[in-house]
């Protein structure tokens, strides 16, 4: 008894210890999994910080095509070493020509205040003055449309405070007064997301902000002059009477920095107040530039490549005629063979003998036996030489063709002598019932036709058969393998065209802005030094 009790106690203690060990092991495994997750999260965040630092302070920002470093990356995002990741659908960033930027800011290697003010005036537009997209988004995804991309770029907070020096300048929106265009109807945008917002050229404002920062440190008098001229409306209107500014507007007409939708952003509603500036120029260069910009900034890109693809699909494989060049000798040999075959008489053994023939080849011309033309397939016509001259047209008289005798033709007629059958055939059949039915929607009614038609069973059956055939054909077209392959090919072509038609991102890297600022500082400092040495 004692031994059995001791064994039971020992077993109970052992089971309790095993349960405790399992519970502790589960707790340790849970803590280990939690630590591993925290470790992976910390590594991801570290990689994201490295990525943001590279995008902000190195040339790799041009490769990745992202200029907005304020966006917070997800902690579950693992950046790859690829320059063009497979999951990134954003278009590549295009480098802006440095000479073009230099010509927009400098004149004779000096900062041109008038050009800067001109750029500032055409950098802001009211969304109510824009033209809505004219073509539907049928060949590209909605997120790739210029309007959706513009709204996505404008989701950053405090956009109106990013360029501090530029935000100190008053914002003007040009209202052009063109000759003969006062009473023309305008297409208005009905999208509520664009209401009471301003369209600002972010790249132009970054350039102006860089220039003002450089002048504030090296030449405060010139920066004060810019602010003073920007607040004088009469001085701004007199700018567009100068020949230099008119030529400058012609150059800006083809500039992607001014016309591309990728260089614009939208301000927050009711955040930025604008001053409407009514202008009219004699040459009309300003009006044409502003009208072109507002009409095309939200338009979808041109779809020229789809037309090329459609033309190549419809183009036949062989443009010329398919024929064989036969030499004269071969033609003469064939003619001789045909004549010899016609001269040789046909034997009865040839008719009984079985020959293997190719059914796909071209059928031969039927042979004509001149001695017995009735046995041939065609009956030739012979001109009768023994005709009287009294006939009306002796040249057109022909002999009559003898028809084969109908001796072998059997005709069987059934005579009904039953009086009941005779009475039955005399009585006409009753008219069929005509129920009132409505035609199906697949069969359109004729003009003036009553929808409640009276029809017989034959018409109803034909309508039902047509309906079933239509459903079967539509089902076959929709779910057939050839149709699915063709649809898949078309979607691939359209996606490629949509990707190729996406506009390039126009980004100014911090390095390029720093170069511009350094160049301005060096030139202004050099001018001050020369002036000091002269004095």
**pLDDT digits 0-9 by tens, 371-418:** 655 555 544 444 445 444 444 444 444 444 555 555 565 655 565 567
Same domain flag for 105 and 254: yes
Confirm if 168 and 209 have CB atoms less than 8 A apart: no
Could you give the C-alpha distances from 528 to 208, 349, 444, in angstroms and in order?
A: 22, 121, 87
Given a contact cutoff of 8 angstroms between Cβ atoms, the answer to whether 461 and 473 are in contact is no
What is the per-residue pLDDT for 224?
A: 92
Bridge partner residues of 279 (DSSP): 176
Query: How far, in Å, CA of 459 to CA of 436, rounded?
Result: 12
pLDDT at position 124: 92
Classify residue 94 as exposed, middle or buried by CB count within 10 Å of its CB (0-12, 13-18, 19+): middle
Identify whether 216 is part of a domain.
Answer: yes
Query: For the whole prediction, is pTM greater than 0.75?
Result: no
Q: What was the pLDDT predicted at 4?
A: 75
Residue ranges making up the domain that contains 188: 97-311+498-534
**Final residue in a domain of this structure, among 18, 49, 64:** 64
| 452 part of a folded domain | no
22, 40, 64 - which closes a domain: 64
- List of the chain residues with pLDDT < 70: 1-2, 58-96, 135-141, 157-162, 177-187, 302-331, 334-335, 341-417, 425, 432-457, 475-484, 487-506
Q: What is the pLDDT of residue 309?
A: 44
- Structural domain contains residue 481: no
Please indicate, yes or no, whether residues 140 and 282 belong to a single structural domain of this protein.
yes
Tell whether 123 and 214 lie within a shared domain.
Answer: yes
Hey, what are 231's tokens? Answer: 């607040």
- pLDDT score recorded for residue 510: 82
CB atoms within 10 A of CB 264: 26
166 shares its domain with 277: yes
If asked whether residues 177 and 297 sit together in one domain, one would say yes
Tens digit of each residue's pLDDT (9 = 90 or more) over 174-198? 988 655 555 555 667 777 888 888 9
Q: Quote the pLDDT of residue 55.
A: 78
* Spatial distance between the Cα atoms of 273 and 49, rounded to a whole number of angstroms: 36
Long-range contacts of 58-64 (CB under 8 A, 24+ apart): 59/509, 59/511, 61/93, 61/507, 61/509, 61/510, 62/93, 62/95, 62/507, 62/509, 63/93, 64/93
By the 8 A CB rule, do 195 and 189 touch? no
The answer to the question of residue 377 being in a domain is no
Backbone angles phi, psi at 409, to 5 degrees: -80, 125
Tokens of 421: 């059958």
What pLDDT score does 136 carry?
59
Are 146 and 286 part of one and the same domain? Answer: yes
19/139 same-domain check: no
What secondary structure letter does DSSP report for 122? T
The reply to whether 163 and 277 lie within a common domain is yes
Residue at 259 is within a domain: yes
Tokens standing for 458?
């034959």
Task: Indicate the pairing of strand 198-201 with strand 93-94.
Answer: unpaired
Do residues 215 and 524 make contact, with C-beta atoms less than 8 angstroms apart?
yes
pLDDT tens-place string over residues 317-369: 444 444 444 455 666 776 677 777 666 655 544 444 444 555 445 555 555 55
| Of the candidates 370, 367, 374, the residue with the CA atom closest to the CA atom of residue 350 | 367
Are 167 and 296 in the same domain? Answer: yes
Tell me whether residue 189 is in a domain. yes
Instruction: Give how many domains the chain has, as a whole number.
Output: 2
DSSP line for 261-317: GGGEEEPPTTTS--EEEEE--SS-HHHHHHHHHHHHTTSPPP-HHHHHHHHHHHS-S
Alpha-carbon distance of 534 to 411, in angstroms, equals 134
Instruction: Provide the pLDDT for residue 1.
Output: 66
- Give the C-alpha separation, 278 to 238, whole Å: 13
The contacts of residue 250 (CB under 8 Å, 6+ apart) are 285
Per-residue pLDDT at 238:
92
505-506 vs 275-279, strand pairing mode = unpaired
Instruction: Give the end of a domain, one of 23, 47, 64.
Output: 64
- In a domain, residue 332? The reply is no
The answer as to whether 183 is a domain residue is yes
Between CA 477 and CA 482 the distance in angstroms is 9
């Amino acid at each position: 008894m004692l031994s059995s009790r001791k064994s039971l106690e020992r077993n109970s203690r052992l089971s309790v210890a095993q349960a405790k060990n399992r519970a502790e092991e589960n707790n340790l495994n849970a803590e280990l999994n939690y630590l591993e997750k925290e470790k992976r999260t910390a590594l991801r965040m570290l990689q994201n910080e490295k990525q943001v630092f590279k995008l902000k302070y190195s040339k790799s920002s041009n490769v990745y095509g992202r200029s907005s470093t304020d966006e917070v990356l997800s902690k579950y995002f693992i950046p790859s070493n690829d320059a063009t990741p497979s999951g990134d659908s954003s278009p590549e960033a295009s480098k802006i020509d440095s000479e073009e930027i230099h010509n927009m800011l400098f004149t004779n290697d000096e900062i041109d205040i008038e050009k800067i003010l001109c750029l500032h005036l055409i950098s802001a537009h009211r969304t109510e003055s824009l033209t809505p997209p004219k073509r539907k988004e049928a060949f590209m995804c909605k997120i790739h449309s210029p309007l959706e991309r513009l709204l996505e770029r404008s989701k950053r907070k405090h956009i109106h405070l990013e360029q501090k020096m530029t935000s100190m300048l008053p914002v003007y929106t040009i209202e052009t007064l063109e000759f003969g265009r006062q009473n023309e109807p305008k297409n208005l945008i009905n999208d509520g997301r664009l209401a009471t917002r301003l369209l600002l050229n972010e790249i132009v404002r970054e350039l102006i902000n860089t220039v003002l920062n450089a002048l504030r440190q090296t030449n405060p008098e010139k920066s004060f002059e810019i602010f003073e001229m920007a607040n004088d409306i009469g001085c701004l209107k007199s700018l567009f009477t100068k020949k230099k500014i008119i030529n400058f507007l012609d150059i800006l007409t083809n500039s992607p920095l001014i016309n591309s939708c990728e260089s614009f952003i939208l301000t927050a509603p009711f955040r930025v107040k604008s001053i409407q500036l009514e202008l009219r120029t004699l040459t009309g260069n300003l009006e044409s530039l502003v009208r072109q910009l507002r009409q095309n900034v939200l338009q979808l890109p041109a779809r020229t490549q789809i037309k090329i693809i459609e033309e190549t699909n419809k183009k036949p494989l062989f443009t010329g005629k398919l024929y064989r060049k036969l030499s004269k000798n071969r033609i003469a040999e064939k003619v001789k063979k045909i004549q010899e075959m016609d001269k040789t008489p046909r034997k009865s053994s040839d008719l009984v003998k079985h020959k293997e023939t190719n059914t796909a080849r071209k059928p031969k011309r039927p042979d004509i036996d001149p001695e017995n033309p009735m046995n041939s397939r065609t009956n030739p016509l012979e001109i009768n030489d023994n005709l009287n001259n009294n006939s009306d047209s002796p040249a057109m008289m022909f002999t009559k063709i003898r028809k084969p005798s109908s001796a072998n033709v059997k005709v069987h007629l059934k005579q009904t002598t039953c009086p009941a059958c005779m009475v039955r055939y005399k009585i006409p059949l009753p008219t069929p019932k005509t129920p009132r039915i409505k035609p199906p929607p697949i069969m359109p009614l004729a003009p003036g036709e009553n929808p409640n038609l009276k029809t017989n069973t034959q018409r109803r059956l034909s309508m039902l058969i047509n309906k079933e055939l239509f459903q079967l054909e539509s089902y076959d077209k929709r779910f057939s393998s050839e149709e699915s392959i063709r649809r898949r090919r078309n979607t691939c072509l359209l996606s490629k065209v949509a990707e190729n038609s996406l506009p390039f991102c126009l980004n100014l890297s911090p390095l390029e802005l720093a170069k511009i600022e350094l160049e301005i500082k060096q030139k202004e400092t050099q001018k001050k030094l020369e002036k000091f040495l002269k004095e």
